[in-house]
Amino acid sequence: MSPREVTMTWFEQGWNQGSEEVFDRLMLPTAQFHGLDMPDGQPLIGPERFKPLFRAFKSAFPDLRFEVLQSVTEGDLIAARCRVTGTHKGDGLGTAPSQKNVEVHGMVMARVRDGKIVEGWNAFDFMSMYQQVGMLPALGEWKRA
């Protein structure tokens, strides 16, 4: 599978359809993800460390949906700009469900070899997500100079 095929399968079958099996199939056991901090401070390496993060988000947002808006590949690297939507209906974030809809944007980059993710980088607007569900206050209006 090409880096684009791996990425599209990752989001569609894994995140959108909820198939954890896809993470075992598409990720090396030694694959490290950057930008997704684990509660214990350890790096997120391999599918067994990734799945609890996946479960927490799917618990918080059962209808979570990733949409790849654009992607660029270069050799074994792919970068994808994503839109993420969902409704905060569960306590997977460690707070009571707000029933609010969220929309978050972000980018991922992955190194793919032989159809498997070797390493990934994530940059999503988690602060906006926390504000949308009420875990953080919204920022005040910007003051004009």
What are the residue ranges spanned by the domains of the chain?
3-132
In tens, the pLDDT along 104-128 reads 999 999 999 999 999 999 999 999 9
Pick the CATH number of 3-132 from 1.10.1740.10, 3.10.450.50, 3.40.50.1970, 3.40.50.1700: 3.10.450.50
- Digit-coded pLDDT (tens) for 3-41: 999 999 999 999 999 999 999 999 999 999 998 877 787
> Per-residue confidence at 55, pLDDT binned at 50, 70, 90?
very high
Q: How confident is the model at residue 62 (pLDDT cuts 50, 70, 90)?
A: very high
Between CA 80 and CA 18 the distance in angstroms is 20
This prediction has a pTM of: 0.88
Tokens matching residue 1:
């599978």
In whole angstroms, how far apart are CA 119 and each of 58, 98, 135? 22, 33, 30
